[in-house]
């Protein structure tokens, strides 16, 4: 997995936000991804746990969306 492409990952019950450290493939100019979620906190906790398992030794890039600085809206982000 290309962990070096991910600068930060935030998860909460209303958003999954990924900041890119560098361009990803042909997505030139895209600085990150924001996925709007509508899930209960228990499911967000399960997703957070799964991300921790996936990231393994790279947990420093994972943050709680409710307690972190949101991404800069002026930057070019893909939103779903």
Interval 19-78: pLDDT, tens: 888 888 887 888 888 888 888 889 988 988 888 888 777 777 776 655 555 555 556 666
**In the chain, domain spans:** 3-79
CA atoms within 13 A on the CB side of 68: 19
* Tokens standing for residue 39: 């899930």
Predicted local confidence at residue 52, as pLDDT: 83
Interval 10-25: pLDDT, tens: 888 888 888 888 888 8
Residue the block writes with tokens 């895209």 = 30
Sheet architecture: strand order including 62-64 = 62-64, 6-11, 15-20, 32-36, 77-79
Residue 79: pLDDT above 70?
A: no
């Amino acid at each position: 997995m290309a962990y070096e492409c991910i600068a930060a990952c935030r998860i909460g019950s209303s958003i999954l936000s990924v900041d890119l450290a560098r361009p990803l493939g042909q997505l030139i100019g895209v600085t990150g991804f924001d996925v709007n979620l509508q899930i209960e906190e228990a499911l967000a906790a399960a997703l957070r746990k799964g991300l921790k398992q996936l990231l393994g030794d790279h947990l420093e890039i994972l943050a709680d969306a409710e307690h972190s600085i949101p991404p800069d809206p002026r930057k070019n982000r893909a939103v779903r």
